[in-house]
Structure 1
Amino acid sequence: MKEAYPVVQNVPVEIEQFFRTHTGEVLLLKGGTGTGKTLLAIEIVRQLTKDERGVMLFTRVEEDQLSLQFPHLKEGSPLREQAKLFDKNSKITDPNWFLREFTDLVKSDFKPKVVMIDTIDSLLERFENPSRMVRATLDVVQRENLSLIIVEETSRESFLDPLVGGIVSLGHTEVDGRKVRELEIIKMRGVEIGRRKYLFSLRGGNFRVFSEMPVLKPEEQIMWKKTPHPPNRYSSGIPKLDDILNGGFKRGQYIMIEASFEVSEEMLMLILRPIILNFIQNDGVVFITPPGGETPESIYSDLSRFLPEGILEEHVRFVDYFRASPGNPLVIPMTDRSSQKLYRTELEELTQGYSRPLMDLVGLDTLEYRMGTTATPQDLLRTRVFIRSRGYLGISIARPDLSLAGAVANFSDIVFKYRLIDNTPLFYGVKPPTGVMVPTIDREGGLPVVTLKELL
């Protein structure tokens, strides 16, 4: 695979490169109120001052509000010592007062290498000639080789734009009526921009951006450790999803996951993999009709990396509508009437007389292509009744253009949607509705561990 897996980062790599490879540079963070500009600015300062000194100049926040608005600036924290406030009510008569204070600060014994100004708007409104003051300040920045981060309370272009080397705009975009936070890199002098847009979260007062990392090496993959099923439920193997479902899928439920065309097979497996693995490790049986783009062999190869040898043979069968003869003991070819008998025999044998839990996972595009749109809803409805009566679990994978999708969504107990926005996979429920989440790889745990991060 040449995919990249979603991970959580502190700031986009382009911003880190911008400051790490240049001195005397200025980054302008633009956006409306509440878009996360200050939290991003604080996070940049936090990253850049691990080995350097920094200072944060606040022009609009009272001292007793700092720790309330920004968790990283609580009393006693290292970052709090870098925070300085200007009296926002002061009446300035000397047009050079800021330049003088700024110059004294950067030349003091403290000698900061990183400076943040939040917000520049509150500062500029005190001057008759704000452009002159800014240009003089930027001259000091270049002369002293500082890294300067400026927060501006607007998304519109201003006289500051051509004066700075980097511009990042923060705002929102929508996914099915749900707002998600979005960052756009407008320009970044001297840096190759790999991605112009990122989705990000402000959960817990922390700025976190969703990026990607290369596919993990085999040594970064681990054997699956099961999460036991709660009473009358099936754990998904994904803690956040279990929390949303009050412990897991109810026995007898039917689930539909509608994945947009941009969601690749690998991204789809990011969600399906832990669900399947956890079901198997809890002594369940899984019958899989591979969705388009997958084969029994590709899914077997994927799952076998995370299970002891021989486990799949005891717990999994693949239903294949495209091959006439098995050739593989795990594959049930469904090409004629005799196939139904083989299917029932395998099902009864693996479930030990229907006593073991069963998951029926079906790619709807495969069924619709092979069986047509008329017969398939009836077949799926019969399967739905069988699953409910036995307390099993059914999962259908749909793509948006399928005729079957609407009918299956109607009789499904739970419907999730899976989208790709700004190269970031988004997973959310529409029945019942949930917030938008990003499935991410645990950097320490590695595959197949998946964490769902809420976009807040």
Structure 2
Amino acid sequence: TIPPEILRFSENIGNFALVIKGEPGSGKTIFSLQYIAEQSEKKSGIYFSTRVDIDSLYSQFPWIKESIPPENIVDATQSILPKKMEVPQFIKFSSLPEFLKGLYTAIEEKRTEKFSPIVVVDSIDAVASSVGLPVEDVCAKIIDVAKGAEVGVIIITERTERTALDYICDGVVTFKRKLIDERLFRELVIEKLRGVEIENPIYYFTLHGGKFRYFDEFRPIELTTFIHEPHPPVRDGKGTKFYEKNMFSTGSKIIDKIVGGYKRGSFVFLEVTGEVPPEFIVENIAGVPVENFLMQDRGVIIVPCKGLSPLYFFEFYAALVGREKVQKNCKIIIPSEDKDVEKRFPWLVYTSYRVDHFVNTVNSIINEFKREKEDNVLLFLCFDKIESDFGSRGAEKIAMKIISRVKFEKDLCIGTAFPSTKIDVKLREAADYFFKTFGKKGRVFIYGVSPPTVIYNANIDFSRPHPTLYFTPIT
């Protein structure tokens, strides 16, 4: 849960001084509590709370009751009200020398032959306010005590600008809250860690469940090493609750909880921005309903994305549901100018670069699937490729004709595009469900515009026999 650079810094430096900066609500307190919790096995972390009393901490973060022993938390709040609960460690101070004496006493009480404690002061601003001295002076004195006692100290401050603290301390970490499309997004920025190589200066994280957690890079499924074990589909046909509500499952129980499924006859639009790997388009919100349709032996029609071959799509879904189901239930369409092109694969359908021929080919496959299966059809269309092949006018005509039929016949269409795609605005207007996805330093995020949702980090869980997409909300 703690970035490895920060752990190496605290282990290598020993009696270090680390300042953690950030506005209120940016995650500083939760992070420092988790840091203390990780030190609890050594019984060597001390948390000095100068703003929030102990019972409030336990109320806000119930998990710390089991993770941090009460004797490792020092109540340094200066409230005149009586404490609601007894605390093993409590200091009252009106001057800096009194606070430093309490700090030193707590350090010596927790020191053992094997371990020296690490101290968190949350926050330095509250101590400075209580003793009536500048923050920089108070910080320097606390560091002097910590260095003299040969312990590490983490100092929390709500100052975000560059100050003398940045030069006094050995390390500087800043917590940031941002808004992306009016949705919360969180960053941890490592400004300085003396003596440690900073491999990743920025970590994106969540405080979901009252805990700090940073996100890993997105890992696509490696088809060459993956041995599939199909999992049961989320059934949404006759006799199911989805069918009674006139809905399809998204194919993921997690996404179903977020959006409730997709109404029959819907167009689901996924706009891809930033550094999103092309595999994510196939393997995330667009991929799971395709897998779910294939597992229920329904027809699926795919127009591949630019940069990904039809064979990749086939092999990917074959790895998840088996080659037989893909061959029986899926058709992948690509335009070709070669009239004599060899039909090497029964699942691959060639069409010309004429708009009417392309639309007729799609309609013909839909009709064939419906005659054979007497069930709904899913279309997964990558409009960046369609626009590249047919131009913006042709792509718009194709989109409107196919989406109109899907809505009329209560099927499902999932489309993807980029903001640079010229028909992007038209696709937004036609969408019943609209999601945006973006990437940052190998991490992938997604949120709903319609219906509106928070931002989620998306990744794949490989710990199970079947790789499973999971979303973590940024809260």
Mark yes or no: TM-score above 0.5.
yes
Paired letter, 2:154: I
Question: Within 2, Cα distance between the matches of 1:143 and 1:120?
Answer: 19
Alignment of 1:283-294 (within 5 A): 283-294=297-308
The sequence identity of aligned pairs, in percent, is: 23
Match of 1:176 in 2: 181
Q: How far does residue 160 in structure 1 lie from its aligned partner after superposition?
A: 1.8
Q: CA RMSD in A?
A: 2.7
* Partner of residue 332 from structure 1, selected from 329, 337, 349: 349
TM-score using structure 2 length: 0.85
* Partner of residue 241 from structure 1, selected from 238, 247, 255: 255
Match of 2:85 in 1: none
Seen in structure 2, the aligned counterparts of structure 1 residues 344 and 255 have a Cα distance that, compared at 3 Å, is closer
Seen in structure 2, the aligned counterparts of structure 1 residues 450 and 80 have a Cα distance that, compared at 3 Å, is farther
Question: Within 1, Cα distance between the matches of 2:391 and 2:160?
Answer: 50
Q: How far does residue 333 in structure 1 lie from its aligned partner after superposition?
A: 0.6
The answer to which structure, 1 or 2, has the higher relative contact order (CA under 8 A, 6+ apart) is: 1
Matched, 1:59 2:13: no
Match of 2:75 in 1: 85
Question: Within 2, Cα distance between the matches of 1:129 and 1:416?
Answer: 48
Question: Within 2, Cα distance between the matches of 1:198 and 1:413?
Answer: 34
Matched, 1:41 2:42: no
Question: Within 2, Cα distance between the matches of 1:54 and 1:311?
Answer: 56
Question: Within 1, Cα distance between the matches of 2:98 and 2:388?
Answer: 74
Match of 1:150 in 2: 155
Question: Within 1, Cα distance between the matches of 2:456 and 2:134?
Answer: 46
Match of 1:123 in 2: 127
Matched, 1:398 2:423: no
Number of paired residues? 445
Structure 2: unaligned runs, 5 residues or longer:
81-91, 237-241
- Corresponding residue SS for 2:251: coil
Seen in structure 2, the aligned counterparts of structure 1 residues 416 and 222 have a Cα distance that, compared at 3 Å, is same
Match of 1:276 in 2: 290
Matched, 1:197 2:202: yes
- Corresponding residue SS for 1:191: coil
Question: Within 2, Cα distance between the matches of 1:79 and 1:115?
Answer: 14
Structure 1: unaligned runs, 5 residues or longer:
1-9
Question: Within 2, Cα distance between the matches of 1:372 and 1:117?
Answer: 61
TM-score using structure 1 length: 0.88
Seen in structure 2, the aligned counterparts of structure 1 residues 331 and 214 have a Cα distance that, compared at 3 Å, is closer
- Corresponding residue SS for 1:391: coil
Paired letter, 2:329: H
- Corresponding residue SS for 1:19: helix
Alignment of 1:15-414 (within 5 A): 15-74=6-65, 78-89=68-79, 92=93, 95-108=96-109, 111=112, 113-125=117-129, 126=131, 128=133, 131=136, 133-212=138-217, 218=225, 223-229=230-236, 230-231=242-243, 232-246=246-260, 248-271=261-284, 272-322=286-336, 324=338, 325=341, 326-335=343-352, 346-353=365-372, 355-414=374-433
Seen in structure 2, the aligned counterparts of structure 1 residues 92 and 347 have a Cα distance that, compared at 3 Å, is closer
Question: Within 2, Cα distance between the matches of 1:237 and 1:290?
Answer: 20
Question: Within 1, Cα distance between the matches of 2:221 and 2:373?
Answer: 38
Question: Within 1, Cα distance between the matches of 2:252 and 2:411?
Answer: 19
Seen in structure 2, the aligned counterparts of structure 1 residues 147 and 284 have a Cα distance that, compared at 3 Å, is farther
Paired letter, 1:47: E
Tell whether the 8 Å contact from 1:253 to 1:412 is kept in structure 2 after alignment.
Answer: yes
Seen in structure 2, the aligned counterparts of structure 1 residues 333 and 106 have a Cα distance that, compared at 3 Å, is same
